[in-house]
Amino acid sequence: MNKDLRVIISGGGTGGHIFPAVSIANAIKALRPDAKILFVGALGRMEMQRVPAAGYEIKGLPICGFDRKNLFKNISVLFKIWKSQQMAKKIIKDFQPQVAVGVGGYASGPTLNKAASMGIPCLIQEQNSYAGVTNKLLAKKAEKICVAYDGMERFFPADKIIKTGNPVRQSLLETTISREDAIRSFGLDPNKKTILLVGGSLGARTINESVMQHLDLVRKSDVQFVWQTGKYYHAQIMEQIEKEGKPDNLIVTDFISDMGVAYKAADLVISRAGASSISEFCLIGKPVILVPSPNVAEDHQTKNAMALVNVDAALYVKDSEASAQLLALAVDTVNDEAKLTSLKENILKLALPDSAEIIAKEVIKLANNGD
């Protein structure tokens, strides 16, 4: 075994790429405390703050995506891709990793391309049921491809695929608070059913509109609601709610820092269908109504959602129909004990625990030349 394990982890752009990346890094450190880990991200993207906050060093590349509306702008994009490749080459030369890991997102393209061309073994982790463009392009050069869904041979060579699941935030699995105490922490009644609405840290307009248009239904129901609006929409929503009168059974917040407590308080969750969120719901066995975002590449959130819906492990409402249907369905579902039990049992069957550790072991194996 090599005395000095050096690993590059690249990618990001969204929490859905960053949480798994940090979880993999933590799992590598748990197995090999001596490991030196360097992240490579995209300048100006979320990973440049989140990764240092998790205790890891990160280098930024000027990489960005193509502008499909304004083709002239892509001249500068091509230059940034070239510059990013040159920078990635220097980062790899200076750091001398034995293995490179890509989690999807802009930065993983140039980083893993250069690593592969320099003879460094690469592993990619694909979170979604529909593979992203970057990972599809990198698949030919990767030694191992870690996935969370069946049927990924559509995108990747079957002999490279390992079904590991998606690493999730460890804090969610370590939450020890009881349901009653979790509900009380929001100032609500433990004897009532509770629905949690989340649209990610920035919020989801459709989910927010679904609540705003049905405040009367919220008010009349014997159900409690915890609503994370997202920071972007919060001020405007609070202003509107003040005018209309906030229902007593509705807690409104811009951001929930401890999602473990929020999930524990919830009998039912309403959420977008990002891969990381879905993996979390599977592991904690949480009944959920998924409202896939239509604003993602190849509509992969709908494909993620349908992987659950097709085995009766989640409910699904189309984004364009959410304003009309979502709240009424949620109230009916949370009051149907048999339905909640069925959703919980079915979603738990899809859980793939220990994903980060399984991936970390594959990374270490590649670093040691497959031994």
Per-residue model confidence as pLDDT tens digits over 4-17: 899 999 998 877 78
Per-residue model confidence as pLDDT tens digits over 261-287: 999 999 999 999 988 899 999 999 999
pLDDT of res. 313: 97
Q: Is 53 exposed, middle or buried (0-12, 13-18, 19+ CB in 10 A)?
A: exposed
Task: State the Rg of the chain over Cα.
Answer: 21
pLDDT of res. 1: 44
Interatomic CA distance for residues 151 and 156, integer angstroms = 10
Spell out the residues 6+ positions from residue 179 whose beta carbon is closer than 8 angstroms to its own: 190, 264, 265
pLDDT of res. 74: 80
Neighbours of 112 (CB within 10 A): 29
Per-residue model confidence as pLDDT tens digits over 155-202: 999 999 999 999 988 778 888 999 999 999 999 999 999 999 997 655
pLDDT of res. 125: 96
pTM for the structure as a whole: 0.86
63, 109 contact by CB (below 8 A): yes
Per-residue model confidence as pLDDT tens digits over 202-249: 558 899 999 999 999 999 999 999 999 988 888 999 999 988 889 999
Helix segments in 118-214, DSSP class H? 133-138, 170-173, 179-185, 205-212
pLDDT of res. 200: 64
**Cα dist. 365→3, 297, 357 in Å?**
14, 32, 12
pLDDT of res. 171: 79
Which two three-digit tokens encode residue 121?
A: 């073994």
Interatomic CA distance for residues 333 and 356, integer angstroms = 33
Interatomic CA distance for residues 95 and 106, integer angstroms = 20
Q: Is the pLDDT of residue 370 over 60?
A: no
Q: Is the pLDDT of residue 152 over 60?
A: yes
pLDDT band at 70 (very low <50, low <70, confident <90, very high): confident
Average pLDDT over residues 116-141: 93
Per-residue model confidence as pLDDT tens digits over 304-356: 999 999 999 999 999 999 999 999 999 999 999 999 999 999 999 999 999 99
Give the DSSP H or E segment for 150.
none
Closest CA to 198 of 282, 266, 105: 266
pLDDT of res. 232: 84
Q: pLDDT averaged over the chain?
A: 92
224, 189 contact by CB (below 8 A): yes
Give the DSSP H or E segment for 368.
none
Per-residue model confidence as pLDDT tens digits over 75-92: 888 899 999 999 999 999
Interatomic CA distance for residues 195 and 121, integer angstroms = 45
Reduced DSSP (H G I as helix, E B as strand, rest coil) percent helix, strand, coil of the chain, to 5: 50, 15, 35
52, 59 contact by CB (below 8 A): no
E-only strand ranges, 21-103: 36-42, 57-61, 99-102
